[in-house]
Structure 1
Amino acid sequence: MTENTTIDRPTPAISAAQSEVEEQLIRNVLASFDSCDNPRLKQLMQAIVRHLHAFIRDVRLTEDEWNTAISFLTEVGHITDDRRQEFILLSDVFGASMQTINVNNEAYKNATEATVFGPFFVDDAPQIEHGGDIAGGATGQPCWVEGTVADTDGNPIQNARIEVWEADEDGFYDVQYGDDRVSGRAHLYSDDDGRFRFWGLTPTPYPIPHDGPVGRMLAATGRSPMRASHLHFMVTAPGQRALVTHIFVRGDELLTSDTVFGVKQSLIKDFVEQPAGTPAPDGRDLGDSTWARAEFDIVLAPEI
C-alpha cells in the first residue's frame, strides 16, 4: 500500500453496454462454481465473487491500483513466518477478525464477551499453580489477578483451563525477542470452587508490529498502530463454548481507538494500584514496589 495510490476519483458514467459487459462477466464467474459439490464452499465462493466484483465496479478500480494491492498482499505473505503472522494483523486492522468473532460468538445470557485472538498466542505455555507468576522474568509492575469461572446459571466450573498471555512493559511479547524466552504467559486451572488467581503484569499500551506492509498501510491512511492495554485469556471447559477474550484497563486513553477494534465495555476492568508496602494477598514480598490488582469473573456459554 503506497501513499500515491489513487483515491477519491469521480465515478464516471457507465453506459448500458459497458454495464452489461461487466455483469455478464459476473454471471460467468458465478456459473463456474455451479458444479461444486460442497454447498457451503459454493456459497462462499459465489458470495466473494459478488462482493469483490461489486467493490471493483463501485470504485472503478484501476489496473495500477489492483497491481498495488497484489504487491501488498505478496509482501504480507513474504513477511509471515512461524513467529509473525502478518495476515492476522491485516485481518485485525480491518476489523475482519473482530466481526468474525461477533458472528461466531452470539450473545448468550450473561456470558463473557469474546474479542480478538491476536497473533501472539503460543501452545504449551508453562503451567502454574494458583498464585503463581506468569511473568517469567518479563519486566513490568506486578499485578495480582483473581476471579471465578462459572456457567450462565452461576454454577462454578472446576478444572477449567485458563490460558493467559501478555506483553511486557516495553510492549513486546516473548516471541518478538527471537531468543526462545518464555515469559508473560502460562496456563492454570480453576479450583473446586471455580476460582483462580495469579501474578502477572499491569498491562500497558503497545503498537502492533508496524515495520511491515500492514504498518505502512496504517501510516498511509493516518491510523495509529496502538493497542489499548490488555491481558489475554483463553478459557476452555467440557460442555462450554471456548472463550477467547481480553480484559482492558479502565482509564486507558486508547480504549476508544484500539487499532484492532477489540475493546468491549464489559471487558474494561479496574486495575487498582496499591501503594508500596501494601501487603500482597499471598504474602509475597514486593519490597518497595507498587503493585496492582484486578478481578475478572468469567462466565462461559454452553457449547451448542
Structure 2
Amino acid sequence: MKEFIKTTGLFLSVCIITVLGVFYLADNRTDEYYVKLTTPKQSSLIVGSSRAAQGIQPQYINLQLSNEKIYNYAFSRVHTPYGKAYLNSIKRKLNKQSKDGVFILEVNPWVISSQTKNPEDSLNFKDNNSFAEVVKCVNCNPNFEYLIYCYDKSYRHILLDKIKTKNIKTNVDVNGWCEVEFLKNKTDSFDKIHSQTIKRYSQILNKYSGVSETRISYLERTIKYLQQYGTTYLVRLPVSTEMLEIENQLISDFDVRMENLSNKLNTEYINFMMNNEKYNYIDSHHLDKKSGEQISKYIAEHIKNN
C-alpha cells in the first residue's frame, strides 16, 4: 500500500511539474489573448473588439505621446463587448496613478448588441463567462487563472512555438498589438476569404437580437470611468462596403447613437467609415498591416493636435 501511495505521489508530482513547466513557456504566440493578461498595469489603453486588436498599432501612437505609452487591451466581439465583464477587466488593467492617460475606445454595432433573446438580459450575456470576467489578475505572469480556466486549446499548442489557424499566423506584440499575416503557403485568395467572411457574418447576424441599451449604458460607464484618468476618444474603424451593409441591418442608426453619446460625454467620435474604400482588409473587416499603420498614424496626429 505504501509503495502504491509513493508511486502515485511521484507520478502526480511529475505531472504537476510538467504542466507548470509548460505554463512557464506560454508567451505571445500562445493565443491572441494570453499575453495581454500577463503584462503590467497600463496608464493608457486601446479597448474594443478584434478590429482594434489588429487594426490600431500602438507603436505609431506612442511616437506622438509625450508622457504616456498606450497599450492595446482590445480582444474580440465575443469576449469583450461593452458590459460589466469588460469594464471590470479594464479597471483591473488600469494603472490608477496617472491622470494624463489616453484612451481609445473602438466601437462598432456588434459590441453594443446582444445575442440573448432579450437584448437587455444582462444575466445571460455570453461575456459573463469569458476570461474578461473569470481572470481576476490581468498582470500575472504566468497567468494560471487563464491557462487553467480559459485556455480552450490543448496545452501542446503552447509547445508549438507559433499559432496557426488555417493559413494565418498570429503574434501579439509587446505593446498588445495583434499582428496577423498570411503564411507563404496560403491557398485561399482574398476574394474567397472575403466571400466566406461575409457569408459567416450574414449567419451571425441572425443570432443577434439587436442593439442593447444595457451595453450602451456600460459603454457610457466605461467612458466616464476612463475620463477620471485622462482623455477618451471613440473610434469606428472602417470595414468593407459589404460588411457595412450587414452592420446597418443590425443597427441602422449606429453613427447617430455614437455622435449623441460623444456629445453627451464630451468625447470625440472619429469615424473612419466615410472613407472605407481607401483601406485594405485581410478578411473584409480587419485592416491589413499597412492600412492599420495609416489609421494609427492618423489617430496619433489627431491626439497630438488636440
TM-score (norm 2): 0.27
Q: Which has the higher helix share?
A: 2
Q: Which has more strand, going by share of residues?
A: 1
- Greater length-normalized contact order (CA 8 Å, ≥ 6 residues apart): 2
